[in-house]
Amino acid sequence: MTASDTRGAVDAVWRIEAPRLIAGITRIVRDVGLAEDLAQEALVAALEQWPAAGVPDNPGAWLIATAKHRAIDRLRRDQRLERKHEQLGYLMEAEERMANADVGAGSDDDLLRLVFLSAHPLLTTDARVALTLRLLGGLTTDEIARAFLVPEATIAQRIVRAKRTLAAGAVPFEVPDPSVLAERLGSVLQVIYLIFNEGYAATAGDDWMRAGLCEDALRLGRILAELSPAEPEVHGLVALMEIQASRAAARVSATGEPILLLDQDRARWDRLLIHRGLAALARAGAFGGPRGTYVLQAEIAACHARAATPADTDWPRIVGYYDELARLERSPIVELNRAVAYGMAFGPASGLEHVDALTGEPSLAGYHLLPSVRGDLLAKLGRSSEARAEFERAAELAQNARERAFLLRRAADCAQ
């Protein structure tokens, strides 16, 4: 095996094993920052030794054993505690705990704890996203920075601050108490969906989609579904992402331009992902009871997935789901999407009425999709000059280069 082959094998193993490795070490050393350092030291050891010795038969176990030995060495030379007797007792206890620990044991429980730790509400949203991608997605700081089009130093600072915040807050490495589990789970799901959405419709830059982020979010969602099989909202989010991801090949033209949902070639939709999404939605529905926000959004996506052509779409049913969603989540974004559904189900005049009710919403003042939706409805009503002005305004607000060009073309079409 060549050096490049070995490096590729190390990278692949790391991406798969890193989350469980970090989770297992965190359980023992009780410090996620230290745990990641130890895991990184094991990775460096693999890069040094595997080219000559070959990739072990069980590379994950090799990394775990190496990290465990490094942890013991680190504890033995740790001189940071002030009181020597207290230090000696801590070191003896920790070393015994580490020596006797099977880092891989209970790894699903450890991984679930790491999921909740990475998305802890004590952290800012940006920090939760960065730390989750780092610890659970196995991404490097550089990869995260390139995905979000920010300097690598910015991401590095977010991750360092996040670890310090968790340490300073003495955040325990545990699954939250049942009394706050639903709220904490909501934070985890939000982080995963934020990652997916940034990949699905990039807010800035030259590319309309960043497939890698979608894949990372899907992987995290699937892991969470395995770890929390009795949570319908987890299955709902997985269903939503699977179905949305199924459209990836049809959402972008050969030159990278956006293609709207109703203009997409549905033969290019990934039927396997749709099947997986519908299966996840069925699992969510099997629990009964009221539907949550992710399940409802997945139901809407499923309506599109089941329609062989745009004309077959059950828009009145989608309106019903949006009405239900609006009662659960008083969000201007939900209301805007609801207006689109009303326009499709009951005509553009109905949609425009709902959109116009949102024009004074402060949180949408700089949101480019508000004038974009309004422009589309005006164009359908034959009010071309007004539509053109709305598309031009939307283009001014859009930060993504592909989307901006698309909106300007729509504005030009209104002038013809």
pLDDT digits (tens, 9 = 90+) for 54-96: 778 887 778 888 887 887 777 766 655 444 444 445 444 555 5
Mind listing the pLDDT tens digit for each residue in 16-68? 778 888 888 888 778 888 888 888 888 888 888 888 777 788 877 788 888 87
Q: Residue 373: its pLDDT value, please?
A: 95
Q: Please indicate, yes or no, if residue 49 is contained in any of the structural domains.
A: yes
Residue 252: strand, helix, or coil:
strand
Boundaries of domain holding 23: 1-104
Residue 140 is classified by DSSP as: -
- The SS3 of residue 147 is helix
* Residue 322 CA, distance from chain mean position: 23
What is the rounded distance in angstroms from the CA atom of residue 216 to the CA atom of residue 349? 40
Rounded CA-CA distance 335/342 in Å is 10
Domain count, the chain: 1
**What phi, psi does 155 have (nearest 5°)?**
-65, -40
pLDDT computed for residue 144 by the predictor: 85
Neighbours of 364 (CB within 10 A): 17
Residue 174 maps to a domain: no
Mark 296-323 as b/e (b = at least 16 C-beta within 10 Å). Answer: bbbbbbbbbbeeeeeeebebeebbbbbe
Tell the residue number behind the tokens 């007792």, with chain if given: 89
- Would you say 315 and 345 are in contact if contact means Cβ atoms under 8 Å apart? yes
Give the sign of the dihedral formed by CA 76, CA 77, CA 80, CA 83: positive
In a domain, 117, yes or no: no
Residue 67 lies in a domain: yes
Cα dihedral 381, 382, 385, 386 in deg (nearest 10): -10
pLDDT tens-digit map of 328-339: 988 899 999 999
Residue 15 domain flag: yes
Q: Is 120 helix (H, G, I), strand (E, B) or coil?
A: coil
Assigned domain for 14 exists: yes
Rg value, the chain, Cα: 25
pLDDT at residue 40, as a whole number: 86
Q: Is residue 258 in some structural domain?
A: no
Establish if 270 belongs to a structural domain: no
User: Residue holding tokens 């402060």?
Assistant: 362
**Alpha helix stretches (DSSP H) within 265-331:** 271-285, 293-306, 315-328
